[in-house]
């Protein structure tokens, strides 16, 4: 039983650490800074307008704006100025979206997916999954507190953070040396 509890704690801590490179950004969005496919995630956050930063955000390839209430997309030139490395935007599930903007009718690499009729179902499903994940995390947190294991979880979390930091430094140094 003790080993299964330790495994559960390790998985819980690890699931939090895997998302350790996700940081809040823009208007309630999350910026995932993974090396393979950096993404700005704004799924189902209740946006009423297209989020634009005050300074250009470099290094992000994709922007997920699904399931919001965005009525229009700014001009392609404004988007490219705000997100110079952006390659795609997903705007499905924005029922009020005006599809006549130049972003929808361009042959440039930056193209917006047109909304589909099944997206309302996808948005409801996404919302339900987020709710279930929050309830699972709350239940596990409550059990950790009930067991008096907060310090152990913090120690395991710190250990994983240190290991990921060491790996990040090691791989960062390795990739920097072999990039040229």
Question: pLDDT tens across 122-143, in order?
Answer: 666 666 777 777 788 888 888 8
Quick one: average pLDDT of 28-37?
83
Long-range contacts of 46-55 (CB under 8 A, 24+ apart): 50/74, 50/79, 51/26, 51/27, 52/78, 52/79, 52/82, 53/25, 53/26, 53/82, 53/83
Confidence of residue 55 (pLDDT cuts 50, 70, 90): very high
Q: Are strands 29-32 and 88-90 parallel, antiparallel or unpaired?
A: unpaired
| Residue of higher predicted confidence among 45 and 11 | 45
158: left (phi over 0), alpha (psi -120 to 50) or beta: alpha
E strand residue ranges, 37-79:
39-41, 62-64
What are the pLDDT digits (tens) for 83-101? 999 988 888 888 788 655 4
Confidence of residue 53 (pLDDT cuts 50, 70, 90): very high
- What is the predicted pLDDT for the residue at 178? 46
Quick one: average pLDDT of 42-48?
91
Would you state the structure tokens that stand for residue 94, as one six-digit string? 């924005």
- What is the predicted pLDDT for the residue at 127? 67
- What is the predicted pLDDT for the residue at 135? 83
Q: Look at residue 91 and give its three-state secondary structure.
A: coil
Backbone angles phi, psi at 88, to 5 degrees: -165, 155
Quick one: average pLDDT of 171-178?
54
Confidence of residue 173 (pLDDT cuts 50, 70, 90): low
């Amino acid at each position: 039983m003790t080993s299964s509890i330790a495994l559960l704690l390790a998985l819980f801590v690890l699931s939090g650490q895997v998302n350790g490179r996700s940081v809040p950004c823009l208007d309630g969005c999350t910026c995932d800074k993974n090396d393979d496919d950096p993404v700005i995630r704004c799924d189902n956050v209740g946006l009423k307008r297209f989020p634009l930063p005050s300074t250009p955000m470099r290094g992000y390839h994709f922007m997920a704006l699904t399931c919001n209430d965005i009525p229009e997309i700014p001009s392609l030139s404004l988007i490219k100025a705000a997100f110079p490395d952006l390659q795609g935007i997903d705007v499905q599930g924005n029922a009020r979206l005006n599809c006549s903007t130049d972003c929808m009718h361009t042959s440039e690499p930056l193209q917006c997916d047109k909304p589909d009729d099944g997206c309302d179902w996808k948005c409801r499903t996404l919302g339900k999954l987020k709710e279930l994940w929050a309830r699972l995390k709350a239940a596990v947190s409550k059990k950790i507190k009930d067991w008096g294991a907060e310090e152990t979880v913090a120690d395991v979390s710190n250990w994983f953070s240190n290991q990921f930091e060491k790996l990040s430094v090691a791989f960062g140094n390795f990739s920097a040396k072999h990039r040229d």
